[in-house]
């Protein structure tokens, strides 16, 4: 079947985005839905499946052409929805940010947790679906659960009737054995789960026809991949570049042909296919810290951009762990700290120190990734690209070039490039570091690392 258009569907944890491309993969139009029914508190972060389903179908109808087309799926990692034997939802969609698996971490001995990490490549943290499922296994509803879903296979089953999940999302689930290429016996035995309760794992380019009774026209749905993989494949034409996604949270990742796992650094390593892995570090703290700064200090991004231009590093050190932390600390209850505050410091000094601390955390994760796999620069995606002075500040702190795609739609192409096996060049601009500024920041960064090491020594 020839397709006149491709609709890229990107399902995140705060919004849903659909983008339509023509046969030449030129962007035509998009449709975005921001979720309004998120259930969130100190331990819970859930999406409403009914809202997501209805928005998804509405968006497809808005963008679908009259001629045959295809849908390519990209979804956030680490999500869970449980269903019972009556096909009723036992839970909402539990996302990576949900912390109810945290206490379960303490119930397993270190040897088991380390073996499971080395087997699955998913870090020992409450974001890991295994620990959320361990929490679920202790609830009264567990014995009635017949199906364990992620966002990916929920949507694929809705649109095609097939219960499939792609390799990359399965690999990020904490219960998939990367070496054997199958669901982990160790994890399933611990959870009292059977393989029949999990979706069939398929290659990212697997596809099935759209169900006729949905009235969505004629076409197919391609299984696709995860948001992290998609971001990296958007820059597939570049060699020796890692990709930094900086939105609500941040993550730095690289594509490699090796399954790289390290108990010391606790990086993730998610399988994409038989020869490729996504390796990197995720952080809880990024744009959400900037939003907090704006709220508490009654400022805005315009002022922060000006401060980023005029500030210079003092002896103030800000550890930006307002939301706990994954990499580099992997501590759920970690808190933020402002160290070295004296009476001569001004509001602007404090704000600048906070910006620096946020980007020092990025630099730390970038350097930890470089220790695993060498690269020469960073390709940036996410909301930070809208604030160019902040990007320049981060670039100066990193001391390496940062690339920004010229087209906002470039990131939506990543999964399409993967499933079509294309090496599609994209236009980008290069933000170069000011190395004189980098040297000035370096002393302050070393102080940051000293304060960070004090946290590690007290754990």
Confidence at residue 443, expressed as pLDDT on a 0 to 100 scale: 92
- In sequence order, which residues have a C-beta less than 8 Å from that of residue 296 and are 6 or more positions away? none
Residues 336, 322 contacting (CB under 8 angstroms): yes
Residue 28 above 60 pLDDT?
A: yes
Contacts of residue 410, Cβ cutoff 8 Å, sequence gap at least 6 = 234, 426
For 150-218, strand residue ranges (E) read 164-166, 176-177, 182-183, 200-202, 207-209
- Residue 310 pLDDT > 90: no
pLDDT in tens, 191-208: 999 999 999 999 999 999
What's the pLDDT tens digit per position in 33-52? 999 999 999 899 999 999 99
Domains of the chain, first to last: 5-226 (3.30.420.40), 235-458 (3.30.420.40)
> In this predicted structure, what is the pLDDT of residue 457?
52
pLDDT tens digits, residue range 97-125?
A: 999 999 999 999 999 999 999 999 999 99
Q: Once rounded to an integer, what is the mean pLDDT over residues 70-75? A: 98
Question: Is residue 53's pLDDT more than 60?
Answer: yes
CA 144 to chain centre: 31
**78 neighbors 95 (Cβ within 8 angstroms):** yes
Tell me: pLDDT of 261 over 70: yes
How much is the pLDDT for 241? 95
Residue 419's contacts (CB-CB under 8 Å, 6 or more residues apart) are 72, 204, 205, 222, 224, 225
Whether 410 shows a pLDDT value over 90: the answer reads no
pLDDT tens, 78-95? 999 999 999 999 999 999
- Per residue in 158-186, pLDDT (tens digit) is 999 999 999 999 999 999 999 999 999 99
DSSP element (H, E) containing 31: strand 27-34
Q: Left (φ > 0), alpha (ψ -120 to 50) or beta: where does 10 sit?
A: beta
Question: Could you tell me if 175 and 191 are in contact, meaning their C-beta atoms sit under 8 angstroms apart?
Answer: yes
Condensed to tens digits (0 to 9), the pLDDT of residues 418-445 reads: 999 998 888 899 999 999 999 999 999 9
Average pLDDT over residues 252-264: 97
Which tokens hold the place of 452? 């960070």
Q: What pLDDT sits at residue 311? A: 73
* Structure confidence at residue 206 (pLDDT): 99
Distance CA 1, CA 193 (A): 39
User: Cα–Cα distances in Å, from 402 out to 207, 228, 301, 371, 372?
Assistant: 35, 18, 20, 19, 20
Tell me the two tokens of residue 248: 């609500």
Q: In this model, does residue 139 exceed pLDDT 80?
A: yes
pLDDT value of residue 252: 99
If one counts every other C-beta atom within 10 angstroms of the C-beta of residue 286, the result is: 26
Instruction: Give the CB-side neighbour count of residue 94, counting CA atoms within 13 A.
Output: 26
Residue 26 has pLDDT above 80, yes or no: yes
Q: What pLDDT is recorded for position 459?
A: 46
Q: Between β-strands 15-22 and 27-34, what pairing exists: parallel, antiparallel or unpaired?
A: antiparallel
Does residue 207 contact residue 69 with C-beta atoms inside 8 Å? no
Three-state DSSP class for residue 72:
strand
Asked whether the predicted pLDDT for residue 149 surpasses 70, the reply is: yes
Mean pLDDT of 357-380: 98
Mean pLDDT in residue range 254-258 = 96
């Amino acid at each position: 079947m020839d397709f006149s258009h491709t609709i890229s569907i990107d399902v995140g944890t705060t919004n849903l985005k659909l983008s339509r491309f023509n046969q030449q993969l030129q962007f035509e139009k998009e449709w975005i839905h921001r979720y309004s029914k998120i259930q969130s508190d100190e331990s819970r972060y859930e999406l409403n499946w009914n809202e997501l389903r209805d928005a998804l179908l509405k968006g497809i109808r808005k963008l679908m052409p009259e001629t045959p087309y295809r849908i390519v799926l990209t979804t956030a990692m680490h999500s869970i929805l449980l269903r019972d034997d009556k096909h009723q939802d036992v839970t909402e969609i539990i996302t990576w940010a949900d912390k109810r698996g945290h206490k379960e971490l303490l119930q397993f001995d270190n040897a088991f947790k380390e073996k499971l990490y080395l087997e699955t490549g998913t870090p020992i943290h409450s974001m890991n679906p295994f620990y959320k499922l361990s929490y679920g296994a202790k609830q009264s509803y567990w014995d009635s659960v017949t199906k364990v879903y992620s966002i990916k296979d929920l949507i694929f089953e809705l649109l095609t009737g097939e219960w499939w999940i792609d390799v990359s999302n399965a690999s990020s689930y904490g219960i998939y054995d990367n070496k054997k290429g199958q669901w982990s016996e160790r994890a399933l035995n611990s959870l009292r789960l059977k393989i029949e309760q999990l979706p069939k794992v398929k290659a990212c380019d697997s596809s099935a026809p759209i169900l006729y009774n949905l009235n969505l026209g004629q076409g197919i749905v391609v299984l696709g991949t995860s948001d992290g993989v998609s971001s990296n494949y958007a820059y597939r034409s570049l060699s020796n570049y890692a990709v930094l996604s900086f939105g609500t949270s941040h993550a730095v990742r690289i594509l490699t042909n090796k399954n790289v796992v390290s108990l010391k650094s606790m990086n993730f390593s998610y399988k994409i296919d038989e020869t490729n892995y996504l390796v990197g570090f995720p952080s809880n703290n990024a744009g959400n810290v900037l939003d907090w700064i704006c709220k508490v200090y009654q400022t805005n991004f315009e002022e922060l951009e000006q401060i980023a231009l005029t500030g210079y590093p003092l002896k103030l050190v800000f550890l930006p762990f307002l939301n706990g932390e994954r990499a580099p600390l992997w501590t759920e209850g970690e808190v933020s700290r402002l160290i070295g505050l004296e009476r001569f410091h001004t509001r602007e000094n404090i704000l600048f120190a906070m910006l620096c601390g946020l980007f020092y955390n990025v630099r730390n994760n970038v350097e930890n990734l470089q220790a695993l796999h060498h690269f020469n620069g960073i390709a940036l995606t996410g909301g930070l690209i809208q604030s160019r002075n902040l990007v320049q500040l981060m670039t100066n702190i990193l001391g390496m070039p940062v690339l920004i795609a010229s087209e906002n739609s470039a990131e939506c192409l990543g999964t399409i490039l993967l499933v079509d096996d294309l090496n599609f060049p994209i236009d980008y601009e290069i933000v170069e570091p000011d190395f004189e500024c980098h040297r000035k920041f370096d002393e302050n960064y070393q102080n940051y690392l000293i304060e960070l090491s004090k946290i590690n020594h007290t754990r």
